[in-house]
Structure 1
Amino acid sequence: MKPLKLIFLTSSLILHPSSLLALPPPSDPPEEVLRTEIIIEARSPIDGKPLTPTEYAELQIQLQQGQPVQPQVARSVERTIKLLRLRRFIRTVFPFIRLK
């Protein structure tokens, strides 16, 4: 019975090479190498702008200390945000009013 299973397994690998496509390409670096790689580029978690390592460290310290960091937005966007918050408040207090 065991030789039959071995023949079946071998033939399935030969006849179905698509199962071999699940392996990563040879040019793909192993995960162990990627874990030891030092990342020198950073992006701000607030607005997504690229930062130097020192700027990123300073921002992390500010965030850990609880200092509020206000992102810079245009006045029109700020006004839209305030109106959306007002609309959400009105819908919470008066759920029967339909706002468009």
Structure 2
Amino acid sequence: MKRMTKIIILILIGFLSPLKALTLPSPEDIPEEVLRAEIITSARSPLDNQPLTAAEYALLEEQLATSIYPPQINPKIRQLIALRRLQKLLQILIPFYR
């Protein structure tokens, strides 16, 4: 009985003791809501990683979205993608395959 009382007291002390909030972000960390609302004035091209202005980036995004041709992929990379897809399929069919 004494042991159960000690355990209950320890649990109550643990719940009632003021703990420092360890999971709060540091004060210099910028909140995600602020970052989402920021206006991006400079960007990088997804094609060649060159710096672009906001207007150039918007124009490039529009051109890429309206292009009728799919992006060209290097044949070696295309083969790697196909092999990776095959590997994932084999992992589903044969779980111990690796």
Per the normalisation by structure 1, the TM-score is 0.50
TM superposition shift of 1:8: 2.0
Structure 1 unaligned blocks of 5 or more? 71-80, 89-100
Partner of 1:27: 28
Give the whole-Å Cα distance in 2 for the aligned partners of 1:59 and 1:38: 18
Unpaired segments of 5 or more residues in structure 2?
Answer: 80-98
Name the SS of the counterpart of 1:46 in structure 2.
coil
Candidates 9, 15, 20, aligned match of 1:9:
15
Q: Distance in 2 between matches of 1:26 and 1:62?
A: 41
Aligned to 1:55: 56
39-48 vs 29-38, which deviates more? 29-38
Structure-2 separation of matches of 1:33 and 1:12: 30
CA distance in 2, matches of 1:47, 1:6: 60
Give me the TM-score of the superposition, normalised by structure 2: 0.50
**Aligned twin of 2:37:** 36
Distance 1:8 1:42, change over 3 A: same
Q: Percent identity?
A: 47
Work out the CA distance in 2 between the residues paired with 1:31 and 1:6: 36
CA RMSD of aligned residues (A): 3.5
Residue 93 (structure 1) aligns with: none
